[in-house]
Amino acid sequence: MKHPFLAFLPTLAGIVAGTVMALVATMALVQPQLLAIQGKIDMLGQATSTLYTPPPVQIVPIEPRPLVPAYPPAFLERRISSVLTIVRRGRADAQPLAEERELGSAVAITSDGWLATSWPAVAGLRLNELSVVWSGRVYPVRRAVRDTATDVVYLNIDANGLPAAAFARASDVESGAAVWFESRPGALRADLIIDNSAMLTREALSSERAGRRFLVQGVAGKHSGAAVWDGGGKLVGIVDEIDGNGASVIPAEGIGTALGQLIGAGVITRPLLGIRSIDLADIALDTTSSTLPQIGSWVRGVPTATPAYRNLVENDVIERVERDILDGSADLGERLLEYRPGVTITLYGRRNGQSFQARVTLGSHNTAESIK
């Protein structure tokens, strides 16, 4: 009798054979797809490897020197600034200087303690309220004198070795010229002259005042008395007043001459003509029927007992002082400052539409006004 397992062997063999045949058929169908998938995986690995290959390391050299300001050579070569800070005098004991005590700036004119600033920097203050900071120390102002012809104020302190400024000529200053604004010692900023013949006022001005100002753009804050330099390090002028249009700057030319008179004689002697006038180059007339010329100094007042009395009359227009045409580049007061008191000059102009000329002997007056 056969064992039951032996009887099942043929059946088991058929099942195994069928399974093997099925696996062979399945592998034949699946194998190409597996190979395709493997190929895509290999390509993805190659692309990923290329995409994320890190760049080569680069060494960037670092300049060992600090950044240098782009100042003209004249400023890079100077050892000490000519600008000083004016402050309100405080207590005698040693205390750090509070910023709110700063009044404005001044410029060293001589090495032995004479400085120049503008009237708005010290207006309304007494002499015993004024001090100046130089090289970290506060120096009391010993003397202060305002030149009423220009509104420059001369200060004197007990100091030596100050770096005196050199002056640029007003005739060399052109609109559009680049200048350097210095309100604190060493704090320079580039600026631009936007008008080289702006007027102090459009109202009638005394012939004994020089009303021309340079207008500098872009300055802000309280910087009366600050220095304005040209690219060669020469003083173009001193900041007078500041408003929304920029800063009006008193021309520096003539500061040295006036100070020389003040030191030598104790006064500043200026020529005297004695009229009030308006510079026509700086105004627009509210009429279409005016016969006034476009340039010249329009006389608006001739007081008695002046050199101009009986030589000039109301509404005369002075067009020339000797050979100098009053074309707006300099006003009448500035032109007269070029002459000595007591000399006789010829004025050329128009009176009632007709040409005229007048010879006038200039008088003399003292424009030095001490601050007590």
Q: What is the pTM (predicted TM-score) of this model?
A: 0.80
For the record, the structure tokens of 229 come out as 């330099």
Residues 6+ apart with CB under 8 A from 258: 147, 149, 150, 152, 154, 268
Where exactly are the structural domains of the chain? 73-157, 170-256, 271-367
Residues 6+ apart with CB under 8 A from 109: 115, 116, 154, 164, 165, 255, 256, 259
CA 2 to chain centre: 123
CATH topology of domain 271-367: Pdz3 Domain (2.30.42)
Neighbours of 341 (CB within 10 A): 14
Q: Would the CA dihedral through 26, 28, 34, 36 be positive or negative? A: negative
DSSP secondary structure, 124-145, as one string:
T--GGGEEEEETTEEEEEEEEE
Residues 6+ apart with CB under 8 A from 353: 291
Any bridge partners for residue 193, and if so which?
Answer: 216
State the pLDDT at residue 76: 79
280, 191, 288, 293: which is closest to 239 by C-alpha?
Answer: 191
Task: Kindly report the length of the chain.
Answer: 372
Residue segments in the chain with a per-residue pLDDT below the cut of 50: 1-2, 5, 48-49
Indicate the Cα dihedral angle 107, 108, 109, 111, nearest 10°: 180
For the record, the structure tokens of 59 come out as 């060494």
Helix residue ranges, H only, the chain: 4-51, 73-77, 119-122, 255-265, 332-336
- Answer CATH for 73-157 from 2.40.10.10, 1.25.40.340, 3.40.50.880, 3.40.225.10: 2.40.10.10
> Quick check: helix, strand or coil at residue 358?
strand
Tell me, yes or no, if the two domains 73-157 and 170-256 fold the same way. Answer: yes
CATH topology of domain 170-256: Thrombin, subunit H (2.40.10)
State the pLDDT at residue 118: 97
State the pLDDT at residue 33: 64
For the record, the structure tokens of 235 come out as 């003083």
CA 135 to chain centre: 23
